[in-house]
């Protein structure tokens, strides 16, 4: 495995739109734990790739909900040019949706008596994704048809073999390989990492990226339905994986078409306090209530229960999570 020692080169600040909640945006307790990022209250470490070059980022909360400000330290093994620095800044703004205009959504929250306390508690949370599109697709693939533990095993095995270790600011994290790195790797070699039939998905997916069949930056400018169409064309990407990407990487907050069976059970308890409500009913109720902010609103309620899980035992949830 490749390992890079990076030293601090630059720092800059970004002012997110207000209100902005740092911890709720940078840490998603509902996500599986990965070696790709480290979060501590008010601090976050991750890698980022611009072109061929890898950087380490330390992102810190330097403001508050109503006067948000974040500081970014950039680590690298050589000097960074201005242009690259601008690209890094743009990427951070995109990936954490730092320019989101929340006025409409805030109004919507106020009208929802039942969940207003939840929206209030996490006010300023954004749907976000630390990774580039390819990286999130790989994550999406190892999530498929697997329990959390197995997902973690598969992701760790992949990172250990093909990822890059980044050492900076007394932290060690990993970052994803590039699509072209998979060209020399055979399906059999991937299967030896016990990722099963997903080996084929990763091979084909990487090939599609190498051939330029997907361009993250083009997709970002497309309407939701087109993004979905393009993503679903990729071998191994179906409705659920596309939904994750659209909500988290493309910040389309109205996306609420697909409910996986395990999510249906959790939604049923959260919204109806019943073990199993028809998925169609859940969908209709949510869309009626939250409209074009359906996915964002549900994220607040969804993440809230996982934040709570950190400190309290929630019996019905433990049953559904299945480690």
d(CA 298, CA 263): 11
Residues lying near DNA in the complex (CB under 7 A) are found at 30-32, 140, 143-151, 153, 191, 194-198, 200, 232, 234-242, 260-262, 321-322
For 128, counting Cβ atoms within 10 Å of its Cβ (0-12 exposed, 13-18 middle, 19+ buried), the class is buried
Report CA-CA distances (Å) from 265 to 19, 147, 148, 165: 32, 16, 17, 38
Nearest distance, CB of residue 277 and DNA, angstroms: 17
Least distance to DNA from the beta carbon of 239, Å? Answer: 4
Of 58 and 203, which has the nearer Cβ to DNA? 203
Q: How far is the CB of 234 from DNA (least distance, A)?
A: 7
Nearest to DNA of 28, 49 (CB atom): 28
Sign of torsion, CA 118 119 121 124? positive
Nearer Cβ to DNA (86/260) = 260
Q: Is 156 exposed, middle or buried (0-12, 13-18, 19+ CB in 10 A)?
A: middle
Helix locations, 196-293, DSSP H: 198-210, 216-219, 224-233, 239-248, 261-267, 279-290
Q: Least distance (Å) from DNA to the CB of residue 235?
A: 5
- How many whole angstroms separate alpha carbon 119 and alpha carbon 109? 6
Q: Could you tell me the smallest distance in angstroms from the CB atom of residue 317 to DNA?
A: 11
- Report the nearest approach of DNA to the CB of residue 4 (Å): 29
Strand locations in 109-245 (E): 164-168, 171-175
Compare residues 20 and 201 and give the one whose CB is closer to DNA: 201
Provide CB contacts within 8 A for 185, sequence distance 6+. 162, 203
* Identity of the residue, 116 or 197, whose beta carbon is nearer to DNA in the bound complex: 197
Query: Residue 70 or residue 269: which is nearer to DNA going by CB?
Result: 269
């Amino acid at each position: 495995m490749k390992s890079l020692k990076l030293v601090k080169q630059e720092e800059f600040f970004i002012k997110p739109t207000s209100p902005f909640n740092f911890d709720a945006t940078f840490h998603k307790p509902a996500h599986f734990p990965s070696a790709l990022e480290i979060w501590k209250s008010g601090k976050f470490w991750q890698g980022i790739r611009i072109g061929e070059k890898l950087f380490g980022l330390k992102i810190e909360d330097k403001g508050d909900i109503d006067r948000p400000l974040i500081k970014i330290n950039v680590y690298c093994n050589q000097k960074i040019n201005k242009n690259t620095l601008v690209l890094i800044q743009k990427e951070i703004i995109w990936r954490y949706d730092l320019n989101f205009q929340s006025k409409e959504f805030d109004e919507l929250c106020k009208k929802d008596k039942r969940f207003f306390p939840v929206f209030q508690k996490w006010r300023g949370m954004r749907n976000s994704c630390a990774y580039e599109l390819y990286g999130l697709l790989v994550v999406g693939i190892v999530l498929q048809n697997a329990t959390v533990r197995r997902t973690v095993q598969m992701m760790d095995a992949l990172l250990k073999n093909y990822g890059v270790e980044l050492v900076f600011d007394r932290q060690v994290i990993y970052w994803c390989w590039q699509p072209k790195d998979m060209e020399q790797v055979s399906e059999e070699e991937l299967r030896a990492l016990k990722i099963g039939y997903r080996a084929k998905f990763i091979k084909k997916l990487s090939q599609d990226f190498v051939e330029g069949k997907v361009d993250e930056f083009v997709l970002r400018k497309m309407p939701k339905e087109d993004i979905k169409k393009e993503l679903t064309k990729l071998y191994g990407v179906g409705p659920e994986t596309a939904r994750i990407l659209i909500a988290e990487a493309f910040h389309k907050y109205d996306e609420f078409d697909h409910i996986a069976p395990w999510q249906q059970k959790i939604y049923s308890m959260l919204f109806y306090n019943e073990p199993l409500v028809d998925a169609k009913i859940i969908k209709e109720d949510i869309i009626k209530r939250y409209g074009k902010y359906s996915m964002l609103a549900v994220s607040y309620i969804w993440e809230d229960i996982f934040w709570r899980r950190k400190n309290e035992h929630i019996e019905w949830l433990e049953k559904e999570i299945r480690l």
